[in-house]
Amino acid sequence: MARPDDPPAPGRREEIEPFWLDYQRTCGVQVEGFAAASFGSTRALADELALLVGNGVKRAHATLRREFEKDLDPLPAPGEHLVVLDGAGHPRAIVRNTHVELRHFNQIDDEFAFTAGEGDLTLQWWLVAHRQDWSEQAEREGFEIGETTELVLEYFDLVWPQPAASAGQA
């Protein structure tokens, strides 16, 4: 049985594809490709962050640049879509990147922390939480984390399910 501190489960293709197709059909969107992933390093955190995304509170996310480099993945780009998964791997939302930038950890500002939508929405909360999470990951995986560690910041809009305010206008 899965525990809340276990890593998020991988997505299930049989759930993700219909979710993606519903979005395209309902919104009249035709997009070639998309990615699917959980935010957060544990099932509990992935659940919490997926809920924040689905509620429109979380509109940005930071990832260690090394995550893209170690997997040889290209950096995300504006216009790309992501199916956000919860901790059990179920699709909960679809976001579309509006802006992507690189910053060092010590360059995160109040605006990004607020847009990231986590904790009490302050820079201080964001720095403490992410410093702890990434330090634990660095210890497990044997790399260094510091103030000049490079991060990939993704800003995005929730596109599916449609936010409640705009759903009536569609």
**pLDDT number for residue 33:** 84
- For residue 120, being part of any structural domain is answered with no
- For residue 145, being part of any structural domain is answered with no
pLDDT tens digits in sequence order for the chain, 170 residues long: 788 888 898 888 899 999 999 999 999 999 888 899 999 989 999 999 999 999 999 999 999 999 999 888 899 999 999 999 999 999 999 999 999 999 999 999 999 999 999 999 999 999 999 999 999 999 999 999 999 999 999 999 999 997 655 444 44
- For residue 22, being part of any structural domain is answered with yes
**pLDDT number for residue 38:** 95
Please give the DSSP secondary-structure letter assigned to residue 76. Answer: P
CA–CA distance, 33 with 29 (Å, rounded to integer):
12
- For residue 67, being part of any structural domain is answered with yes
Helix/strand/coil (H/E/C) assignment for every residue in 112-124: HHHHHCCCCCCHH
**Domain range for 154:** 13-104+150-159
85 strand-pairing partners = 38, 91
CA–CA distance, 162 with 48 (Å, rounded to integer):
19
Token pair of 54 as six digits: 């689905």
**pLDDT number for residue 169:** 47
Predicted TM-score of the model (pTM) = 0.91
**pLDDT number for residue 22:** 95
What is the number of domains present in the chain? 1
**CATH code, 83:** 3.10.400.10
CA–CA distance, 118 with 52 (Å, rounded to integer):
8
- For residue 131, being part of any structural domain is answered with no
- For residue 69, being part of any structural domain is answered with yes
- For residue 18, being part of any structural domain is answered with yes
- For residue 86, being part of any structural domain is answered with yes
